[in-house]
Structure 1
Amino acid sequence: MPTTPSSRAPRRDATENREAILVAAAAALNDDIDASLEAIAQRAGLSRRALYGHFATREDLLVDVFTRGAARLAVLLEPVAHPDARVEIALFGATLWAEVEHVRVSAALAVRGPYRERVGAALDPARERLHGTVERGVAAGQLRADLDVDTVSRLIENAAISVLDDATRTGLSREAGHQLVMLAGLSAAGLGWREADALIAGTPELAFTEASA
């Protein structure tokens, strides 16, 4: 039997309300990491009761917000590619920064806080990409070979997270963060600071622009 428009509307409204809650929560948590469900509901233009219709607890909401952000990041990193593994690592960092710098407080909690393990699986595709890039760079003699590929990949990831932490504490500008996240990742990969600076300065794809921010 065909579904009438009136019977479709509640499902459509529920989807829209859930989306509004997730968007409002991401913004509210960046302003105040302790934002209450009441504050999030108000920001979404909904009642607290309506919010509870989608999320039973504040923790459920936070995990959904963080997991969605991590999954989006993994998708954004998927097409990032460059023949030079060093440039590709820098591009990974720049893409990460462009995606999370405006929500740096909640992003830092997602990757450092108690939700890290529950959110981490959504980042696995990005980790696999980075691992492949490091493996290629080591084989080409571009990256450090004194450590195993798993360790180097982990160091690069942690370097990016450290920049996010620093940016949250100091209010780092978008352009400064763009530069620092690339330098930190390349340093973890085994490049000296002069070599990393020269690589960034000499690679047009790594230049900061408003579009990259």
Structure 2
Amino acid sequence: MDAFAGYKKAANDVVPDATTVMDPFHVVALVGTKLDETRRRLQTELHGRRGRSGDDLYGIRKTIRTRVGLLTDRQKHRLNSVFAADNHAALLVCWQFYQDTIAAYAAHPSKGKKLMGRLINTLAGTIPNELKELRSLRTPFQRRRADILAYFDHPGTSNGPTEAINGRLEHLRGIALGFRNPGNYLIRSLLHAGGLATLLQPYL
């Protein structure tokens, strides 16, 4: 599951013996969000406005979220140029934490668990005000420590299929707007869900 406490409470109420595992996608996304917030804050503090074309911090907004192993030489050079500035130090620290989080999930489960444990311990330590976005992860990571580390005991666990089904349901709910004929809505739903082909198969 993701970090929403409501899901955890509901799961504990219904299946109290189940092991709660926080999905890697959501953990990485949570850290990535703080990385973006740090970049935007520095942009505002240094330039007094939102980023625009030509700004160094704005120019790396997508590159900075790319896994380091997938960066091209040109992208690496661009990042290094930005990180070299003293007033961008907070961004460099957050970026390194983001990359370390990705690396923990890419490692062998036993090693990854140790790496992730160290990252959570780092958040529990003293973090300066200059890293307030990263510091804001302290409480959720400590509260969900067992759930985050549980992934490494159950590697491959993912709520991706659930997210996919939920996304399909949200889409079907959206296309229902304006439909007055239930029959038409049923046919449209089957088309989008891929179920119409199964129903028509006996006649083909």
Q: TM-score, normalised to structure 1's length?
A: 0.28
Higher relative contact order (CA 8 A, sep 6+): 2
Which is higher, the Rg of structure 1 or of structure 2? 2
User: TM-score, normalised to structure 2's length?
Assistant: 0.29
